[in-house]
Amino acid sequence: MRPGLRGRCFFWLWGLFFWFGVGSAGDTPPTEQPKCTDFQNANPFRGTNLKVQFLLFTPSDPHCGNLVEESSDLQNSGFNVTLGTKLIIHGFRALGTKPSWIEKLIRTLLRAADANVIAVDWVYGSTGVYFSAVENVVKLGLKISSFLSKLLVLGVSESSIHIIGVSLGAHVGGMVGHFYKGQLGLITGLDPAGPEYTRASLEERLDAGDALFVEAIHTDTDNLGIRIPVGHVDYFVNGGEDQPGCPTFIHAGLVEQGGVKIEPLPKEVRVYLLTTSRAPYCAHHSLVEFNLQEPRNKDTHIVVTFLSSNVTSSAKITIPKQKLQGRGVLAHPTPQCQIHQVNLKFQASRQFWRKDRTTIVGKFCTAPLPVNDNKKTVCLPEPVNLQAGVTVCRDLKITCV
């Protein structure tokens, strides 16, 4: 996890579907409440001794973490063997502090799914120097595997276990899955760490063989996130690099196999999607297309902007030289039928000695994604003349279905 970085941008996409707060717990009888246990705080200057805590959170009390070490602790803390179990493993903690995002993630999971949620607190082993934390990955994997064996004794099935690993914690989850020979139900890697893992062997990092279904969500591949695919399906949000509206949150699949229904399961499939910059971040995707009347001897760049009420969304279309057609994908927060205007701007080439007065003529079309038939495609009625550096506005009339 990036040192000192405000809870990391990758978490905001989980909020795309489930970031709606937490409902109050139901009425409970006036019995003695168990003592709540919080995450540890470590001193980054005292090494990285591995002191692990397993904290159980249940639907009946999403705010209270119960320290569970033995099977008896689990049985006395409200652990329900008939429910699925979600294990959260945080990543590198440079300053030895509790992850700022952990409580919101726990409550979000408990709101979205009726499950046992167990947070793995390894702050002591993840602080200080990053490479020292990496050395603790195998030892932590063994600790977690030993803990999971206690769940299996209670009657929990391997396939009902869902590991959610963040950054370095994603590779810890992969290590645990490797120890269980890929029979755990689901591993979700949130920005699996890149340093020390890009060239690592499959046994050392998260990969598609570590669970029945492995998914990874990439939002930081230009910095500390891994660039290569590591699961059955890898989601590269907004290209996997800089995220609009950061900081804040990420989701693929709280449901079984992330909603992917393919047999046999693929390996290393890359999925690309866009988001908006404001909550709830979900976006409608439109295909935008520009067709030149004549080819050019250089690449042509056109910025397309959709306007709806007071919201604007933009994307760039690039038409390669000697080609007539260019396409792009534009993400916008409102349905396409609420977009009332499109602005087109042909980007001027860099000419320091005089103004670029080049003019192009072409046809603009758009369609909501996925494009299932040509009936959804809407084109401007007449060709558009675009002069370099000048914005052209056109009304866009799309019928709401």
- Residue 76 is part of a domain; what is its CATH number? 3.40.50.1820
Token pair listed for 171: 């590779």
Answer whether residue 383 shows pLDDT above 50: yes
265 shares a domain with 304: no
pLDDT digits (tens, 9 = 90+) for 102-121: 999 999 999 988 999 999 99
Count CB neighbours of 84 within 10 A. 20
CA separation for the pair 141, 174 (Å, rounded): 8
Burial readout 96-114 (b: 16 or more C-beta within 10 A, e: otherwise): bebbebbbbbbbbbbbbbe
Single residue among 253, 273, 293 that ends a domain in this structure:
273
Q: In this structure, is residue 141 part of a structural domain?
A: yes
Q: In this structure, is residue 279 part of a structural domain?
A: no
Count CB neighbours of 56 within 10 A. 22
Q: In this structure, is residue 8 part of a structural domain?
A: no
Q: In this structure, is residue 191 part of a structural domain?
A: yes
| Residue of 340 and 33 predicted with greater confidence | 340
Which range of residues forms the domain containing residue 335? 284-395
**Angle of the 168-179 helix axis to the 137-154 helix axis, nearest 10:** 50
Model pLDDT, residue 249: 41
CA separation for the pair 191, 169 (Å, rounded): 9
Answer whether residue 380 shows pLDDT above 80: yes
Q: What are phi and psi of 339, to 5 degrees?
A: -85, 125
Model pLDDT, residue 372: 65
pLDDT digits (tens, 9 = 90+) for 330-359: 888 888 888 899 999 999 887 767 788 899
CA separation for the pair 16, 110 (Å, rounded): 16
pLDDT digits (tens, 9 = 90+) for 116-152: 999 999 999 998 889 889 999 999 999 999 999 999 9
214 shares a domain with 66: yes
Answer whether residue 258 shows pLDDT above 80: no
293 shares a domain with 264: no
CA 270 to chain CA centroid, nearest Å: 13
CB-based burial label for 321 (10 Å; 0-12, 13-18, 19+): exposed
Single residue among 273, 306, 323 that ends a domain in this structure:
273
229 shares a domain with 163: yes
- Residue 300 is part of a domain; what is its CATH number? 2.60.60.20
321 shares a domain with 237: no
Model pLDDT, residue 61: 86
Model pLDDT, residue 331: 84
Q: With contact defined as beta carbons under 8 Å apart, do 275 and 13 qualify?
A: yes
Q: What are phi and psi of 239, to 5 degrees?
A: 85, -5
- Nearest Cα to 238, choosing from 258, 217, 255, 223? 217
DSSP secondary structure string for all residues of 334-362? S-GGG--EEEEEEPPP--SSS----EEEE
Answer whether residue 67 shows pLDDT above 90: yes
Domain count, the chain: 2
Q: In this structure, is residue 19 part of a structural domain?
A: yes
170 shares a domain with 318: no
Share of the chain above pLDDT 70, in %: 82
125 shares a domain with 246: yes
Answer whether residue 34 shows pLDDT above 90: no
218 shares a domain with 344: no
Q: What are phi and psi of 168, to 5 degrees?
A: -65, -30
Mean pLDDT value across the chain? 83
SS3 193: strand
Q: Which residues pair with 307 in a beta bridge?
A: 312, 341
144 shares a domain with 60: yes
| Residue of 21 and 264 predicted with greater confidence | 264
Model pLDDT, residue 263: 59
| Residue of 269 and 129 predicted with greater confidence | 129
In this prediction the pTM is 0.67
236 shares a domain with 297: no
128 shares a domain with 27: yes
Q: In this structure, is residue 10 part of a structural domain?
A: no
Q: In this structure, is residue 147 part of a structural domain?
A: yes
307 shares a domain with 228: no
Q: With contact defined as beta carbons under 8 Å apart, do 240 and 295 qualify?
A: no
Amino acid at 112: A
Q: In this structure, is residue 103 part of a structural domain?
A: yes
Single residue among 248, 273, 298 that ends a domain in this structure:
273
Helix (H) / strand (E) element for 120: namely strand 115-121
